[in-house]
Amino acid sequence: MWGVALAIYVVAVFHRTSLAVAGLAATERFDLSASQLGAFTMLQVLVYAGMQVPVGLLVDRFGPRTVLTAGVVTITLAQAGFALATSYPEALVARVFVGLGDAMTFICVLRLVSSWFGPRRIPLVTQLTGSTGQIGSIAAAVPMTWALSELGWTTAYLVAAATGPVLLAALLLLVWDTPEQRHQRGQPMSRLALLRTLRASWDQPGTRLGFWVHFTTPFSAHLLVLLWGFPFLVLSEGVSETVAGVLLSLIIVAVVASGPVLGLVVGNHPWHRSTVALATIAGMVVAWTAVLAWPGQAPLWLLVVLVVACGCGGPASMIGFDVGRTSNPPDRMASATGIINVGGFIAAVIVVFGVGAVLDLMTPGSSTDFTPGAFRAAMSVQYVLWGIGALQIWRYRTLVRRTLGRDVVEGGSTMVG
């Protein structure tokens, strides 16, 4: 069951990131400007984030199997549509539906993990799920580059979409909502009741703690991988483009390698989950401070330390989901997961735009010849988010520790009420 759910998540991450290496091909095929190309990713991510809370509510109501089925069908048809699109509007609509299908995946997989595994195993399996999922983005890089050049746009994307029917068959055959029930439905709810459920999830200090953990831990890795890592390393730290590429790939290696370690630590010491999150944040702050304060260009070993520290932030963000799980009753778990997942998205958007804005401010005219000084100031935007996030984590961890006894948390049980 978990293998099938995990494969669906890996493929969703693949579809999500499959445009990253196809930018040039997309520009030629649809005759796009740079901002039109950016709109693909922006729209897809916005839909993904905007759907987190509604999808969480749908999972609580209809069960993960049903919503995951809808997700696989949606993302497969969307990717097939993207393969066949011949105009910019058609391709844009296809990317919107890729974001929609993607939004239906992760929450369902986490819900299945919490129904199928024992409380002590859940943190480790959750981490393995998150880390393994990132393999999808590796598959979307090298094999997709090859497929685009050898098979061409339409065939490459159609082959990617062809995984859908296979996954759908496996899902329908093997995935049940719980070991006892094929479908686990929640109560039908009026709009008012839905709002009440959301309110109740948000009112739980544990959901807020999860939100702030997910807000504070992964944005540094997103900042480097999504946009600014490459120019920062090349223009400010003076490494070659090849070394910059290797350092950015090392982030994914750190994500995949540190996930299981964090899962084991958190599974064995659930009372200290937020301490682990805070320690990971402290590690990133120290590494960034050393790099930014280093006179001139930082040595390579320090840049390696930096990317590894940032990579650990991805798995640390999964602690947020675990806190949300143990702070909410099962029938509200998915909506709490949706709320928590939005935290990481908000922080990533703020930091990517914040760094861009400071770079623009520090660089006269419309030049993109950013200086090391401009990069130092721009990257320092992160301290504001770390500061706010760490304070909120501290605040809500104090509240959660008052609400949930240590024995309850260490028993790994899901809170009821």
Ligand X SMILES: N[C@@H](Cc1c[nH]cn1)C(=O)NCC(=O)O
- Is there binding between residue 259 and ligand X (CB under 6 A)? yes
Nearest C-alpha neighbor of 11 from the set 147, 114, 159: 159
Contact 128, 263 (CB under 8 A): yes
d(CA 353, CA 346): 11
- The one-letter amino acid code at 94 reads A
d(CA 35, CA 196): 40
Least distance to ligand X from the beta carbon of 389, Å?
A: 14
* Closest by CA position to 329, among listed 214, 208, 211, 200: 200
By C-alpha distance, which of 52, 407, 411, 384 is closest to 202? 52
Nearer Cβ to ligand X, position 45 or 378? 45
Of 74, 317, 337, 392, the one binding ligand X (CB under 6 A) is 317
Pick 342 or 409: Cβ nearer ligand X: 342
Pull the structure tokens for residue 299: 């040595």
Query: Binding of ligand X at residue 131 (CB under 6 A)?
Result: yes
Count the alpha carbons within 13 Å of 408 in the hemisphere toward its beta carbon: 14
Binding of residue 18 to ligand X (CB under 6 A):
no
> In this complex, which beta carbon is closest to ligand X, that of residue 287 or of residue 292?
287
Q: Would you say 352 and 227 are in contact if contact means Cβ atoms under 8 Å apart? A: yes
Q: Of the candidates 101, 130, 324, 354, which one interacts with ligand X according to CB under 6 A? A: 130
Least Å distance between CB 219 and ligand X? 11
Find the part of the chain contacting ligand X (CB under 6 A) among 28-36, 128-136, 241-249, 408-416.
128-136
Among residues 63 and 259, whose Cβ is nearest to ligand X?
Answer: 259
Q: How far is the CB of 30 from ligand X (least distance, A)?
A: 26
Tell me how far, at minimum, the Cβ of 348 lies from ligand X, in Å. Answer: 10
Q: How far is the CB of 157 from ligand X (least distance, A)?
A: 21
Secondary structure element (H or E) that encloses residue 188, with its range: none
Q: Which residues from 135-194 bind ligand X, rule CB under 6 A?
A: none
- Near ligand X by CB under 6 A: residue from 112, 233, 318, 381: 318
Interface positions, 67-106, toward ligand X (CB under 6 A): 106
Check residue 44 for interaction with ligand X (CB under 6 A). no
* Residue 31: Cβ-neighbour burial (10 angstroms; 0-12, 13-18, 19+): exposed
The reply to whether 344 sits near ligand X by the rule CB under 6 A is: yes
Q: Which positions from 186 through 245 interact with ligand X, judged by CB under 6 A? A: 218
Q: What is the CA radius of gyration of the chain?
A: 21
The nearer residue to ligand X, 130 or 164, going by C-beta atoms, is 130
| One residue of 137, 341, 382, 392 binding ligand X per CB under 6 A | 341
351 to each of 15, 211, 218, 369, 379, how far by Cα in Å? Answer: 24, 17, 11, 20, 9
* Residue 134 contacts ligand X per CB under 6 A: yes
Q: Is 233 exposed, middle or buried (0-12, 13-18, 19+ CB in 10 A)?
A: buried
Complex with ligand X: residue 148 or 254, whichever CB lies closer: 254
**Total residues binding ligand X (CB under 6 A):** 14
Three-state DSSP state, 187: coil
Residue 156 phi/psi, 5-degree rounding, is: -60, -50
- Distance (Å, rounded) from C-alpha 220 to C-alpha 90? 33
Tell whether residue 56 is a contact of ligand X (CB under 6 A).
Answer: no
Under rule CB under 6 A, residue 123 binds ligand X:
no
Q: Which stretch binds ligand X (CB under 6 A): 75-83, 125-133, 156-164, 365-373?
A: 125-133
Can you give the binding site for ligand X, defined by CB under 6 A? 106, 130-131, 133-134, 218, 255, 259, 314-315, 317-318, 341, 344
